[in-house]
Amino acid sequence: MNEVAFKPQAFEKAARILENLSEDAAEIYARGGLKALKEIPGIGESLAEKIEEFIKTGKIKYHAELKKKCPVDLEHLTAVEGVGPKSIKVLYKKLGVKNLADLEKAAKGGKVEKLPRFGPKIQENILRGIEFLKGGQGRLLLGFALPLARKIEKRLKELKGVSEAALAGSLRRRKETVGDFDILVVSKDPERVMDYFCSMPEVEKILAKGETRSSVRLHLGLDADLRVVRPESFGSALQYFTGSKDHNIKTRQIAQDKKLKLNEYGVFRREKRLAGETEKEVYAALGMEYIEPEMREDQGEIELSLKGKLPKLVELKDIKGDLQMHSTWSDGAYSIKEMALAAKKLGREYIAITDHAGHLHIAHALSPSDIKKQWQEIDKLNKDLKGIKILKGIEVDLDDFGRPELPEEILAKFDLVLGSIHSKLRMPKEEMTKRLVAAAKNPLVDILAHPTGRILGRREEMAMDLEEILKAAKESGTVLEINAYPERLDLNNQNIKKAKEAGVLLSIGTDAHSVPQLEYLELGVSEARRGWAEKKDIINTMSYKKLREFLKK
């Protein structure tokens, strides 16, 4: 930023502070003006004025001036995996690359590989990254979509004349990314509901407005559809609009085989309605056990339902603790004490502090001397705090051969060791498999963290033979993590299912870097449910005492 190193760091820090606030900055400003913004820790007068300007106008003049001076589209170019500011500078100077279209054209023309320190492999990765980005366009991460969807659902439920309101579609099935919002409402006053829905502050444009159905475009870029249905059809409409499409095709076929008709209005024999008011009675009318929304993907759940052999999925209330989070000791925004007290407030019995160790300098990886000091702090907190226990954990980088980048004598003293990969994610499949198998077999590694390395919408899974890794994990008792961070949700539902079938235990960790992110645990539970995981499959459903015993083994 004009060759002044501290400026981008200051803005990045401010962005993290604002992201991690428990209250929206606009609400703080509405309550106390510029003075209240300046009272936010880490926000000085200059930054507070820029935040005020953005709240008032939706723009920052300084930002607009910098964008005019910057000839390239940094936001979209840096979204391509492996393309950073230094690469962009070279690409612009040597090839005139200003945006994604320019980058794609240059890479497809073979020009990128000819640049110094690029080569064919990097060019290939850039093209793959661009294609991956294109595939995620028009979708929003579940973790970012769900809070707004719930806010809208709550407001509709509280609206006069509304007796029922529920989210449907991929949101209700808790898919990792969401293309739109589907909402169902039961009301005797549909006109009032439609007027309210179309005039919500989040609405950018009304796409269609009718007596029983309206569609709007929200400011965040997604469409939202609202349908008003009759009370006797609410269950069947919810089942129908929850989907998935493949699940619905199968259930309609079952209805036909039984000489019944299933649609959004109910289950019928000839003209007589047999069910429709609730989803449970809809499934029961088809001779089926009720199927949880997260399972409705036509992956064998229908066949198990007909036999009455569906798994009892894990629930958020089953989770006793959170097994990955970060503090100010590495790249977190809150102290260990603040994270512990916030977790206690959320009902957790224990947490694992798993700050970074290894070569990840950007995340302020801990040195051996830092680790000893942190242990002293945790020992003191465990004595002082009531109702919450803190495990001494670490997220340690794995080298090219799957070895943790900390001395064994230090690793052995941790309560919990997470092994993770943050570098050389594009190793050939055979080498990556060996790397992860070695880590799984290491008796000092308790959990493989975010095992496939994916970043939703930005980075594919690492090339690996998961079956081989699961086999090694089963033999050694190593646990695989379900990382609940919205951009990861790794393992995904199919891989969770494979781990469960292989008899490999799982953990859920928020990977929280701030207090508000501790609530991501729910996303991890949702992903576990999508992978058919039960309480017995997740180690942090254990009590603190039992978990300690398990980890010692």
Taking only the tens place, the pLDDT of each residue in 286-313 is 999 999 999 999 999 999 999 999 999 9
pLDDT band of residue 32 (cuts 50, 70, 90) is confident
Q: Which of 1-10, 94-103, 133-142, 290-299 has the highest mean pLDDT?
A: 290-299
* 3-state secondary structure (DSSP) of residue 174: coil
Which of 495, 551, 494, 482 shows the shortest CA–CA distance to 523? 482
Residue 281 has pLDDT above 80, yes or no: yes
Q: What is the CATH number of domain 316-552?
A: 3.20.20.140
First to last CA, the chain: 52
Give the global pTM: 0.84
Q: If you ran DSSP here, which 8-state letter would residue 487 be given? A: T
Q: Strand ranges (DSSP E) for 88-167?
A: 140-141, 162-167
Q: 232-310 maps to which CATH number?
A: 3.30.210.10
Reply yes or no on whether the pLDDT at 11 is more than 80: no
Residue 421 · residue 105 · CB < 8 Å:
no
pLDDT value, residue 29: 84
Q: Which of 208-212, 263-267, 365-369, 372-376 has the lowest mean pLDDT?
A: 365-369
Pull the structure tokens for residue 286.
């088809």
- Residues 480 and 505: their CA atoms lie apart, in Å, by 7
What is the reported pLDDT for 9? Answer: 64
- ∠461-136-1 over CA atoms, to 5°? 90
DSSP string, 379-417: HHHHHH-SS-EEEEEEEEEB-TTS-BSS-HHHHTT-SEE
Phi and psi of 88, rounded to 5°? -60, -40
- The answer to whether the beta carbons of residues 275 and 281 sit under 8 Å apart is yes
| pLDDT greater than 90 at residue 17 | no
CATH dotted code for 139-229: 3.30.460.10
Please give the full DSSP string across 99-117, using - where no structure is assigned: SHHHHHHHHHTT-GGGSTT
The domain locations on the chain are 6-69, 74-135, 139-229, 232-310, 316-552
Q: How confident is the model at residue 1 (pLDDT cuts 50, 70, 90)?
A: very low
The predicted pLDDT at position 517 comes to 93
Give the pLDDT mean for 110-130.
81
Beta pairing, strands 350-353 & 389-397: parallel
**Mean pLDDT of the 235-260 span:** 96
The reply to whether 232-310 shares the fold of 74-135 is no
Would you tell me which CATH number, out of the four given (3.40.50.970, 1.20.210.10, 1.10.150.20, 2.30.30.90), belongs to the domain 74-135?
1.10.150.20
Identify the burial level of 309 via C-beta atoms within 10 angstroms of its C-beta, where 0-12 means exposed, 13-18 middle and 19 or more buried.
Answer: exposed
Q: List the single range of 40-44, 130-134, 255-259 with lowest mean pLDDT.
A: 130-134
Q: How far apart are CA 64 and CA 57, in angstroms?
A: 12
Residue 34 to residue 45: CA distance in whole angstroms: 9
Least confident interval from 37-41, 147-151, 286-290, 414-418: 37-41
> What CATH architecture applies to the domain 6-69?
Orthogonal Bundle (1.10)
Tokens 């004025």 correspond to what residue?
49
Query: How far lies 134's CA from each of 127, 219, 458, in Å?
Result: 11, 21, 10
pLDDT band at 92, cuts 50/70/90? confident
Helices vs strands, H then E, count in the chain: 23, 18
